[in-house]
Homo-oligomer: A and B are copies of this chain.
Amino acid sequence: MAESLRLTVDRRSPVPLYYQVAEQLEQAIGSGQLSPGFKLDNEISLADQLGLSRPTMRRAIQELVDKGLLVRKRGVGTQVVHGRVRRELELTSLFDDLRATGQKPATKVLVNQVEPAPAEVADELGFAEGDEVLHLERLRLADEKPLAVLRNWLPANVIRPTDEELENGGLYQLIRDAGTHVQVARQRIGARGATTQEARLLGGRKNDAVLTMQRTAYADSGRAIEYGDHCYRPEAYSFEVTLVER
């Protein structure tokens, strides 16, 4: 089957070649230009068409396989996955997520102080109990409606934001601005009934179901940079994950 795409690469660009190709393929799939089930040319042929080596073309394809947009089968070929493409869970903050989807995020700061780490927090961050940590509690709103209660603890020497800084952007933006790069985060997602305080903040009743997420994030130095314990109004928020068999 012939390729109906016009892929191009710009070798003067600082953007990696594999990334340029992956982006164009992703866009072609997202726009429907490549329909579900469409069979791509083989890797060597595609590489030749673009003037790339096979490993580079292969890496471009692998990016989309990892995202769940393409499937590969040895001896057979590479095909576009059937089914709709949804927005993925990424290593971005809720604040950025909301802004990206056109909802108007807002933040109300409830707690912003340095205090000794509670046992659970010290455990998650790899600290000793009682070491000083920055404790944040925020109510996150989207389009003026309460969405989530966000509790976070950070090592005291990462950031010291003002309430105003917390109201104007996401936590991860502040961490990035401080020159710290978050590379890995482990999340545990669950559910429970809302506490009285949570229900009041979120505008529901005690024991209403809330979606919960506990997260520990690590900087590229390998050290723990943040522990978060969040709860969300489940009518307004859910997590999406794509799993790929490798």
- A→B interface (CB under 8 Å): 36-37, 55, 68, 71-73, 79-83, 86, 89-91, 124, 126, 181-193, 207-212, 216, 218-224, 232, 234, 237-245
Which chain B residue lies CB-closest to A239?
A: B189
CB distance from A216 to the nearest CB of B (A): 6
Q: In whole angstroms, what is the CA distance A192 to B83 when docked?
A: 25
Q: Are A183 and B244 neighbours in the complex by a CB distance under 8 Å?
A: yes
Number of identical monomers bound together in the oligomeric complex: 2
> Which of B89, B187, B222 has a CB less than 8 Å from the CB of A36?
B222
Given A71-B221, A240-B187, do A126 and B193 touch, yes or no (CB 8 Å)?
no
With A and B bound together, what is the CA distance between A242 and B191 in angstroms?
Answer: 18
Contact check, A243 vs B73: say whether CB atoms are below 8 A apart: no
Indicate if the CB atoms of B91 and A186 lie closer than 8 Å.
no
A22 to B: closest C-beta gap in Å: 11
Given A68-B218, A89-B243, A90-B243, 9 other A-B contacts at CB below 8 A? A37-B222, A55-B55, A91-B243, A91-B244, A91-B245, A185-B242, A188-B240, A190-B211, A191-B191
